[in-house]
A and B are shown apart, each in its own frame.
Chain A
Amino acid sequence: MLQELLQYLFSGITNGAIYGVIAVGFSMLYSSTELINFAHGEFVMLGALGLVSLWGGLGIPLPVAFLLVVIGVAVVGFLFERLAIRTVRKPNPIVLVIITVGASIFLRGIGMLTWGKDAYSVPPFSDHDPIDLAGAKLLSQSIWIVGIALFFVILLHLFFKKTLTGKAMIACAISKKAAWLTGIPSERMVLLAFFLSTGMGAVAGIIIAPITMCSYDMGTMLGLKGFCAAMLGGLGSLWGSILGGFILGILESLGVGFFSSSMKDAIAFFLLLLILYVRPGGIIMAKDIKRF
């Protein structure tokens, strides 16, 4: 019994960390622009397939490939903001959301043309045997995933709390007009938010690549799960998002283990509805940590 429970938890935490990283991307963008970027899953796909090409295809060393892919995808996010979002004359939220939906179809198409319709796989980051804990197997890639996810979230936390730029971003998030009055270039902050958010998407794609199969259409479902995690934890909250990711991941795998695998998504989404009904703002939604 313990062996099974541990195995379900390992699986849940691994997936949860990935959902969490995706959720952070959603959250961060929402808090600085009030925009849900439905193309976010596609940036995850770009990250995964970028790694397939650079590390798996060209044989560039992993850390370099990691960095190049994150920066590359973030530049795509940067261009996305400049070319598609900034140029909108009347930026109603609904118009912007529809633009992101369009962008997701566009990026998926680009992905299909670049990488074809086949799936790809890459080896794990390190070639260690699974660790045996009371009969349950902990994969080395799972440790990498959780470690990298926490590393980036802590990095973001420090960025927002300790640096002037980070604080300027929070100021923009709280009130764009007031921030502008104090001399903060709010448009540049929005651009930075896109850059960081899509970069986080790429990170999620990179860490998930070795445990699953990467294809041009992998982003939609991951994006949806990440969005759920963000809603669950509290859209706009950094730690809420990562917490939401873990909860969603663990619930999914426990749902499979103790109920039925055909109910997997149903269980997760039912709990999401329940939590939204009881606490519409998500789990972490105290007044003072409404934003980053």
Chain B
Amino acid sequence: MMLSRLSKKLILLMTFLAVGGFIFACPAFTTETYKIGGIFSVTGPASFLGDPEKKSMEMMIDQINDAGGIDGHLLEGVIYDTEGDPQRSVNNVTKLINKDNVIAIVGPSRTPTTLAVIPFAERVQIPLISCAAGITIVDPVKKWVFKTAQNDALAVCSVYQHMKDNGIKKIGIITVTNAFGESGKNQLKQHAGDFGIEIVEEESFGAKDTDMTPQLTKIRKVQPDAIVCWGTNPGPAVVAKNIKQLEINMPLYQSHGVASPKFIELAGEAAEGIYLPTGKILVADLLPDTDPQKKILMEYQKNFEETYGQSVSGFGGYAYDAMMMLERALPGTNGDLKKLRDNIENIKGLVGISGTFNFTPEDHNGLAPDAFVMVKIENGTWKLVE
């Protein structure tokens, strides 16, 4: 008696489960949309990266959908905020994979957050297209991980090439003590010898430091030919100001980390005469018409500024490029992750915002040094340097 009642309940429960499971499982079979995950540091200290990336991704998805989607499938973006925090990024990725069933992930925005999520993408085998710059993301190459942002090494080489052309041999470097600055410092030290340049003084500053005159005094003491500062706003603006205040008359090179109008605004007069490498988006209208990227840069700039009413930065382009890669790689895959990955790896000659991408199984960044141009700040604006 007891047993039969129990088994009746069990049967009832199982029926419910089966029916329920069928009802809930059904939409998954008939779905028409491709879900693309996005994880960016939309808020927090790296919001200057994540915010335009999120907007660019949304803009690109709308564009693709307006044009009828891919193979008749509309795209749907599922975007989460990492706040620049590795732990949160891991949570977001787990959610994207297990709950949202996305077929590819764009982001995260920063190198530490990307490194934190790579093991998860590799384990479940889902294409991850990072928007961060650190070279450790793609060196050594990971099968499922790609990135659109230019490697720091390319920026360092642009700076060194310019120095070599101008007869600069001894430099002092001052870098910020975060992942960006550390990576820059390593690349600066690694490539100096290739260009016959010697680093004679090495200093650092904290991201929130308010005064860098002691470090700069120390650099001045050894009399280098030029100073290189590697950091993201606002520290490098303080460095630029301090150099003017100490009346140090040496050429100052900054990194692509400050390649935005905000830097000129912060440093004011102290920005005059500074050299820095930058992706081409910043100087799109100055580029010669023969430049293969000019057309797409102008188009992206126009669309972004019309859609969001704020001026474009190079950072949003990282997510835009990632979406262009997916647009190129998705057709014909029918949502198959393995095919999608192979298609991404086979992309050749894709002209994007950050440069021209040529992926190979050995190179998952696919950019060449021509992704950067050197600019000089003159009269509060950028000038292309030959």
Chain A residue numbers with a CB within 8 Å of B217 are 4, 7-8, 11, 257
Which residues from chain A contact B174 at a C-beta distance below 8 Å?
Answer: 261
Cβ–Cβ < 8 Å partners of A4 in chain B: 217-218, 221
25 contacts between A and B (CB under 8 A): A7-B214, A7-B217, A11-B217, A14-B211, A15-B211, A18-B210, A117-B48, A118-B48, A119-B262, A119-B266, A121-B267, A130-B246, A137-B245, A137-B246, A211-B238, A211-B241, A213-B237, A213-B238, A217-B208, A220-B208, A261-B174, A261-B203, A261-B214, A262-B177, A265-B206
In the complex, whether A221 has a CB less than 8 A from a CB of chain B is yes
Extra 4 A-B pairs, beta carbons < 8 Å, given A15-B211, A118-B262, A213-B237? A119-B266, A121-B265, A123-B268, A211-B241
Q: Which residues of B contact A139 (CB under 8 A)?
A: 245
Q: Is the CB of B234 within 8 A of A119?
A: yes
Distance between Cα atoms of A169 and B217 in the complex (Å) = 45
From 110 to 168 in chain A, residues with beta carbon under 8 angstroms from any chain B beta carbon are 117-121, 123, 130, 137, 139
A10: interface (CB < 8 Å): yes
Q: B317 CB to closest chain A CB, in angstroms?
A: 19
CB of B204 to closest CB in A, whole Å: 5
Task: Tell me, yes or no, whether B45 is within 8 Å of chain A by CB.
Answer: yes
A121: min CB distance to chain B, Å? 5
A217 to B84, CA, bound (A): 14
Rounded to whole angstroms, the CA-CA distance of A123 and B45 in the bound complex is 24
- Do B204 and A262 touch (CB < 8 A)? yes
* Contact of B204 (CB < 8 Å), options: A12, A211, A212, A261: A261
Determine if B233 is an interface residue (Cβ-Cβ < 8 Å). Answer: yes
- In the complex the two chains form, is A137's CB within 8 Å of B247's CB? yes
For A224, give the chain B residue with the smallest CB separation. B208
Contacts of A176 on B, CB cut-off 8 Å? none
Give the residues in chain B near A241, CB-CB below 8 Å: none
A196 contacts B by Cβ under 8 Å:
no
Main SS of the interface on chain B?
helix
A11 pairs with B262, CB closer than 8 A: no
Contact indicator A257/B218 (Cβ below 8 Å): yes
Q: Is B213 an interface residue (CB 8 A)?
A: yes
CB of A162, distance to nearest CB on chain B (Å): 34
A interface vs B, CB < 8 Å? 4, 7-8, 10-12, 14-15, 18, 117-121, 123, 130, 137, 139, 208, 211-213, 215, 217-218, 220-222, 253-254, 256-257, 261-262, 264-265
Of the four ranges (under 10, 10 to 19, 20 to 34, 35 or more), the interface on chain B belongs to: 20 to 34
Residues of chain A with a CB closer than 8 A to B247's CB: 130, 137
Q: Which residues of B contact A211 (CB under 8 A)?
A: 210-211, 238, 241
Query: With A213-B237, A215-B234, A256-B218 known to touch, is A11 a contact of B213 (CB < 8 Å)?
Result: yes
Asked if A121 and B237 sit within 8 Å, CB to CB, the answer is yes
Min CB distance, A253 to chain B, in Å? 4
Q: Which residues of A lie under 8 Å from residue B47 when comparing CB positions?
A: 117
Is there a chain A Cβ closer than 8 Å to B215's Cβ?
Answer: yes
Chain B residues contacting A213 (CB-CB under 8 Å) are 233-235, 237-238, 266
How far, in whole Å, are A289 and B205 apart by their CA atoms in the complex?
A: 38
CB distance from A50 to the nearest CB of B (A): 17
Contacts of A257 in B (CB 8 A): 214, 217-218
Identify which of residues 231-275 in chain B touch chain A, using a CB-to-CB cut-off of 8 Å: 233-235, 237-238, 241, 245-247, 262, 265-268
**Closest CB-CB distance, A227 to chain B, in whole Å?**
15
* B203/A218 in contact, CB under 8 A: no
Tell me, in angstroms, the Cα distance from A10 to B217 when the chains sit together. 11
Q: Which of B48, B177, B211, B265 contacts A212 (CB 8 A)?
A: B211
- CB-CB under 8 A from A14, the residues of chain B are 211
Question: Given contacts A4-B221, A130-B247, is CB(A261)–CB(B234) below 8 Å?
Answer: no
Closest A residue to B47 by CB, please name it.
Answer: A117
CB of A6 to closest CB in B, whole Å? 9
Residues of chain A with a CB closer than 8 A to B203's CB: 256, 261
Beta-carbon contacts under 8 Å, B258-312 to A: 262, 265-268
Q: With A and B bound together, what is the CA distance between A218 and B206 in angstroms?
A: 12
